[in-house]
Structure 1
């Protein structure tokens, strides 16, 4: 056995260096019986270990970690500013003062389905007062910071709700300014009315139905309606100013512009047509049209049958007045003819009376207005009347009958009147009885009837005993 002089470790004789400290043995021979105590040896300080250089991957990893840490710091700064409610108020203030309506509008939250636009919202805030609203919003933000309950901001009705909204897994809190809308409805008087308000259309399913149109923010909106299932097509449009009342609901007050239109006609049994469609009702059943509107583009007429069973149509008029009279030309013609028939009958009776007077006094002026100036018949009758001055002695006419036997209508302006006339004619020498059948032609000229022809069709003369 031998011992290492450096560390004192016992080694076998065969080893050439110390397995403990690495000290070499130089031809040392150990005496088996001699125990040699190891010398105290002080280990010299180990030389400094040199570091291995970092690999590229290690350097890249450290760089990435540094970037991530930096990005997190920057993101925290950015997000803190983004979700800073005071900065939001400042941005609102700038947008409002610059009248940047779109940016101002986008700073608020609107519930899904709410009809809203920047113009209406800006006008509503202006009416409320931006400074007042800015102060109200700031007060609600301070309540959130103090962890107090917030209150709804009112503008007659509920206006804005300020609430905290956790974001990014709750790491940050956003403040949301939610606009509380107005529920808008309309009262529809008839089924299947189409009503459009602010771009949203609804259709009524029953008469006198209240329909909820949707949610809107206060402002001015265009409205329109159409109704095609009544006696005439109805429509209308206008603008409506929507306000925010205490219960956040409002029923649109629509001016339907419904009218009563009085309807009359020559024929009460005629079927009325409005807008080209039959109402299925007679004039007598539709004394007044309702609901109706004054509309110069809507035509109205009636259809009936004449005395021969032929279908006839009235004049076509437009609904531009609250009173409509539908004349039938054939009926009007018949009425005019009937009136003129009575007129010429009266005219004939007057003529015969005046003719008797003219002959008696031999004065043509009594009947001159019955004839057209310059006509041959006027000249002939003027001569006949005045020739009675040449009769010697006494004469006398006694008109007995002036009967009308028939009237024929040649046209609306020309009529043939057939008569049977009897009279006695006496002179100093004889007494005669006459029976005559005549044809009178009456012509309507310049709003007046004239006798344009008198024809003796048959004359019977007998002597009186």
Structure 2
């Protein structure tokens, strides 16, 4: 097929002129094969409209795909979150910080305190760890943690796959601390914010909840036969090696021994019966801070109700609360009263025979019981009846107790034992004792004493009296 070398229109074979443009088809060189080939290349057939539309749509689609990829990659770029967190820390903007950090909705959180904690935890190091996690994303298909300088977990970085091998999203989640509670009393309720725990037994550890680093108020409440107890404290919750923070609701713990001559008596607290016998209590207490008044009631064989004096905690005798019922006392030995010294001398030998070595032993043990109270109360009058007036024993004991005033010392007698009795004459006994006690000074330093003593007990017109106390040997050990 032939074409016009000028306009490209179809020319019938054998025609010399183009019917479209009138150009002579046999000009010099125009019919050469080479020129026909060039003309064919330059004047190819125009593209159809459909082809042009397809080409345009394809190019647009490619451009759109590239743009979308760039936009998605930019939107999913985790470094933007780190940059925003960094800016929020610089501005101390807790709200902006938590726009990029996920938290446990059940955990207690003070955002401002938490932000300050992150700032104090070497944020630059934390930021570098986060950046490294994202730079090495291809080699980190699993969740990873970010730690503080003590190795405690602060954040977990979670990787979520959107398009395998192409798109991933990331979550930075703050890790809360586990908080547990215990108490020094049974049946205690512990509250921290809106978290509550029930401690059934003292010393039991129970779950209280979760909290992010910061300061939180703790409230505890409990009760016993002696009253209501409350406890308040501010505790610090921060990451630690134990992976948890324990809070302790600490109530008064002091208890008191019971001393009574009727253990089957009923205890009354603030005038109200507990419906429990004294024997049902191993000890009394703990007591709340409010004053508590106690007494006991007991019915004798005739059905008559007897009542002890009312006492409070100020009435304790060396860690004991005494419930003493007044009863008819046993007939004591009558001590004769002599009008003159001559009359006493005349019957001295007879009077001396009224007192035995057993009486002398009981006299010394009674002195020891009273001496412990006298030392701790700084009250010489409690032991004066046991000592012979004007004797060395009276002088030494009175001076020693007098020197104790305002010194803050305590004495706990743990053993008073008679180991030997010697009757020197009808009116003189030598009582040898083994005595042990714990001395506590004003610095709460304790010393254990173990002593052997010799008591000289005389019989005079007032009965048995101690005239001399000699310390034979002493062994002491620091506790």
TM-score (ref. length: structure 1): 0.46
Bigger radius of gyration among the two: 1
TM-score (ref. length: structure 2): 0.45
